Amino acid sequence: MKGTLAEKILKEHLLEGRLIPGKEIGIRIDQSLTQDATGTMVYLEFESLNMKRVNIELAVSYIDHNIIQTDYRNADDHRFLQSAAAKYGVILSSAGNGVSHHVHRQRFGIPGKTLLGSDSHTTTGGCLGMLAMGSGGIEVAMAMAGKPYYINTPTIWGISVEGEFQPFVSGKDLILKLLGDYTAKSGIGKIMEFYGPGVKNMDMAARATIANMAVDMGFTACIFPSDEITRDYLKKNDRPGDFRRLAARKNAVYDEITEIKLNDIEPMVACPSNPDNVKPARELGGVEVHQVIVGSSTNGDFRDFMIVAKMVEGSMKHSQVSFEINPGSRETLDNVLAAGGIKLLVEAGARVHEPGCLGCIGMGQAPATGTNSLRTFPRNFKGRSGTKEDAVYLCSPETAAASALTGRITDPRSMKNYPSIAYPRKYAYNMAWFIQPSANPDSVEIIKGPNIKPFPQFNALEADIEGKVLLKVGDNVSTDIIMPAGNRVLPYRSNIPAISEFVFDIVDENFAKRAKELGNVVIIGGENYGQGSSREHAALAPRYLGVRAKIVKSIARIHKSNLINYGIIPLIFKNKSDYDSIMQENTIRIPGIRKLIEQGKTEIPVEINGKRILTLLDVSNRHRKILLAGGMLNMARQG
């Protein structure tokens, strides 16, 4: 990684270890963000550390996921988040301000800084030249306490860019093209870094979209240089003093390189039900759509909405289409309104919702049974939309606008004139939208409603593990499958006993009941297990139910860390064919597991119905201490 921008930022923040690919390092975190679907747990965890104030340059708490208040629970949790932010020195971005990733880059992101968030799409911050990463909430809590954040030193995948996008093609098409070509697990253990003469032709909306969805290829982070595009964006957001020019050296050495000619990129669409199931839009003209949504953390920028508004100007949406607009932030909504974009969208039959994640996390906007939904969102995992048997397609704002008019997936290049967008000299905003922490924290009482339950206590790792295979699943199982979201589940995010009832209920509605009956249990999985959202509930709730180990073919980075942090042992099949021989209800024994971990063993023998197979435990020495303690909080309490 010599001379890369990623190396430069890592070196500036290195606290422990050396930059040797695959070896664990500890880095200083400058900024943190939390969101309300995961943030309640972060602040309960932070509270358990007995810290009076955060020990970090900047911490922001966003309320952007659970903003549909169908009963008291979400509202209660919002009060908890506001009181915790006031007491601990955290800025609060209230419901309605918008999606954390848009708001943070507009108001707080700074080139060259490190950003850690309890949301996997925190990688969006890489559009500003930040090293921005998502993680489990407990790791964010530790970073807020001033502790290092630990990752294995990533390799750097350089994306060399030439040319410029053709009309009706944008950043979403490029990241979908990369997903289709390289799959959702291709970036595990890597950072994606853009460079080359074509980067100057990629606007901030394109950069944010690509950095956002880099995590959906498995990347730890995605970094763009901080250049004139960055300077102009910060200036428009009234933050010229935050600009810092950053780029890789001309002779930078990348671990692998992909060359991209932007002129060759065409409109792309991810088909159900994974972001890497990608086809050109021109091949999908026969697919009818009944819902089209523009917005979310991926495409919720001023440019995204204005291009859609201009494309539908003077027209009416197709009669069968529910055409919906989810602004990325209050700032964006305000500026699109001032530019006349909202008027054009409303006149074309669009429904304009409040800024927030909404349908992207399954909070409303569930599609009708047996229909196709076309969205500019980052993920389309089965059931994530809130409709169990859904069919969700992902696309660019241009493809969404064209399809909303025709009622079928439409290559936007079929439209005649590509509109130009006039940007304001300066984006309107109001810092009074944000609630600053209390200057007298001792006077603040943290408010906990009846739905907030005490953090569960877990035992240290036992000498041996014995249990049943409770569930066997296939490849690309997402955290949405393990721990569903949506308005039926997320209100329980601060109540582990209650939310645990929903673990794996998409594939086995009796999972929680059977787990409680059996005691210790094991999960068997395929490739890329735990992809998607960073939600730690997908590890915490299974641990509460008695899941002690997961044996899989391969595992996503953030989910692996979350499992370790809650004392679940992440084992990898040494021989992947052993997966085929294991059935549900098989008895599993891992004899002497505690001693094997203490001794630093990487090969872990597992007995399945008396048959012995070998698995691999690829973890650092620090991870071993966490597993032995039964979780990170247990280890932290031990000092």
Sorted by sequence, the CB contacts under 8 Å of residue 229 that are 6+ apart come out as 200, 202, 203, 204, 207
Phi-psi region of 585 (alpha: psi -120 to 50; beta: other; left: phi over 0): left
Phi-psi region of 182 (alpha: psi -120 to 50; beta: other; left: phi over 0): alpha
Distance of CA 130 to the CA centre of its chain: 16
pTM (two decimals): 0.95
Going by C-alpha positions, the residue among 66, 135, 81, 100 that lies closest to residue 490 is 66
- Whether cis (ω within 30° of 0) applies to the bond prior to 478 is no
Q: What is the DSSP string of 89-143?
A: T-EEE-TTSB-HHHHHHHHT--TT-EEEESSGGGGGGGGGT-EEEE--HHHHHHH
HSE-up (13 A, CA, CB side) for residue 76? 16
Beta bridge partners of 92: 61, 435
pLDDT score of 639:
64
Distances in whole angstroms, Cα of residue 516 to Cα of each of 126, 510, 546, 550: 42, 10, 7, 17
Number of residues that make up the chain: 639
Domains of the chain from N-terminus onward: 5-264 (3.30.499.10), 269-414 (3.30.499.10), 465-637 (3.20.19.10)
Q: What is the DSSP string of 506-523?
A: TT-TTHHHHHHHH-SEEE
**Separation CA 263–CA 484 (nearest Å):** 39
DSSP state at residue 41 = H
Structure tokens at 315: 């027209």
DSSP state at residue 420 = P
| In contact, 408 and 317? CB cutoff 8 Å | no
Residue with tokens 């959202």: 533
Mean pLDDT, the chain cut into blocks of 10 residues (639 residues total): 95 97 97 95 93 97 91 92 98 97 98 97 98 96 97 98 98 98 96 98 98 97 98 98 97 97 98 97 98 96 98 98 98 98 98 95 93 97 92 98 98 94 96 97 95 90 96 95 90 92 95 94 97 93 97 96 97 97 95 98 95 96 96 84
Beta bridge partners of 268: 280
Query: β-pairing, 149-152 with 24-27?
Result: antiparallel
pLDDT score of 490:
86
Helix (H) or strand (E) holding 208: helix 204-214
**Separation CA 143–CA 146 (nearest Å):** 5
How many helices, marked H, and strands, marked E, lie in the chain?
20, 27
**Separation CA 327–CA 357 (nearest Å):** 9
| In contact, 172 and 307? CB cutoff 8 Å | no
pLDDT score of 487:
83
